[in-house]
Structure 1
Amino acid sequence: ERELILASAGTQGPVVPVSGTLHALFEEQAARTPDAVAVVAGGVSLSYREVDERANRLAWHLRSLGVGAESLVGVCLERGPELVPALIGVLKSGAAYLPLDPVNPAERLSFMLADAGARVVVTESGLLPVLDGFEGESVVLDELESERVDALPGVSGPDNAVYVIYTSGSTGRPKGVVLSHANVVRLLETAQEHYAFDGSDVWSMFHSYAFDVSVFEMWGALAHGGTLVVVPR
């Protein structure tokens, strides 16, 4: 039985290392289908080009603040049209994102910010009270004056952090779990072998972006040319 299992496992062939990043996958898709609908949220439809430009705009500003590979940027936004471009913008800057869903208690958000050591948070003016006490840099999207939307040179690779999502804390204090781009790209590659995602697919971003299932929902759509519908709270 042992030999049968080992022989079966050996038929898969050598494992090919992941060479890309999530934001690079998105950029490639945006170049292929710039006018296709990428995100629908709050009655707003954004094409792949529009999402890419909004993400670049934020990424350039984050770079100006010194953000780069292995930096950690908090994202505190409602489930609206700015959420997905902001998450991609953080990745384009080279950083990993720390999801700070405003539906969570303020105490939990404060704990995660302090525990993770994030010094920059992307938010909107109406949510600044949620971040009361945060002493770092708050990037307020509805007040952002940067207009640069051209592509950025890449500074992160597959082994760099892509996000830090905190556990529920049901067994004690919440713990931050760090994943790399390679982890998520490998998930997508493996799922694609079974499901053959393409541009005809419409995905719901139903889960909170502070819950890891949202990662599969978001990138299952955007890495393959599909449409992502952000479901309101």
Structure 2
Amino acid sequence: MKQVVIVGGGGMAREVIALMSPMIQSGDVRIRGVIDDTLPLGADFCPGYSCQVLSSIEKFIPEENDLLLLAIGDPAARLKLGRELSARGCKFFTFIHPTSIIAPDAKLGSGVVIYPYSLISANTRLGDFVLINVHSGAGHDVVIGDGSVVCAHVDLTGFVRIGEAVLIGSHASVLPKVKVGDHAKIGAGSIVVRSVRAHATVFAQPARTLRQAEE
């Protein structure tokens, strides 16, 4: 049995607990509780699963067998918390929904979360704390950097390179060999045909730059 602590007490936490329901019911996973900086200590976070708020994230001290699952949707916060908790000696749970397909030669980092009906294709690399939402695909030879979040129904085609802490909105497509820089944002429904600079926000079909953040 794996003992899992959920990091974050929002909607994504409830989602992942629901997705893990068969594993919980079979006894393969036990949710020890949730850590969050906004919820009251001891609150019953998810009725039906005996899932209580254990502590704030800042004050959390892991038990020996704890595996943390990051239920954080913001890429920058996801990456920051993942690295901070790693530096404090925490270990992470990688959750792959059984309906997803992972190529045998794909490489997944620590703390990856993959929602239902997703595809991670041949020779693809996912960094630590990457989140892949439902019905999304990473084609052959794709690289996705630490902490990046791929929303629902996204198509990352062959040889795409995604930097760290990138957000790719729902129904976006990134064409072959395109590179997306660290902390960039791809708007929902965008078709990205050329490389995107770090910290830029792009949208539309074909995607164009909305703004370039200060670095």
Query: Do the structures match in fold with TM over 0.5?
Result: no
Q: Which has the larger radius of gyration?
A: 1
The structure with more strand, counted as a fraction of residues: 2
TM-score relative to the length of structure 2? 0.30
Give the structure, 1 or 2, with the largest relative contact order (CA under 8 Å, sep 6 or more). 1
TM-score relative to the length of structure 1? 0.28
